[in-house]
Structure 1
Amino acid sequence: MNQDLILQQIGQLSQIARNKGKKEEDAAKEAFQFVDGLLTKAAVVAEKNPGSNKELLFHQMSSQAFALFHSNDNQEEILETVSKSVSTYAEMSKKLSEKFAV
């Protein structure tokens, strides 16, 4: 997994947590745990969708998680929501890819 991408996601989630009033250290810990959860969920979705790019799945999940994290502190709920969503998108993209394969 691309360490720079992981760094970016930790930084962005940490900033959201700080914007919610958390101290730097607490925000960083929360962001680390969140990114760990996103990486774990991305690996599960990638396993279920062979041929999918794990980094792209992680990036897509992270993007959705950022929007949800602004208004929801429940990481588990967010992880489940984005995991289901990206899993559905991966299945849809596979169908379209097969349909339009040359």
Structure 2
Amino acid sequence: MDEKEVSLYKNLTRFIIQAKACLGHSAYDELEKIQCPTLVIGGGRDEVVGINTSEEIGEKIPGSKSIIYPGLGHGAYAESKTFDRDVLKFLS
């Protein structure tokens, strides 16, 4: 294998490990135990987690605040022009 093929193989291997970990991990039943101020952020077009998941998490955490960025995907934090301002507003 050349250097490019090795890099692709390593990235694919890491992806598979992470995907298996995500599929076998669930903290959903623990969310209601969170007692600190919590901001749940999601993208309205998130194809990795999905908007329903962000909404469910927000509903499950008592007193949490949710921001769903319509039209943005899984990387809403990087895609949104107001993300930093929104987070700072929540923290203040």
Length-normalised TM-score, structure 1: 0.29
**Structure of greater Rg:** 2
Length-normalised TM-score, structure 2: 0.32
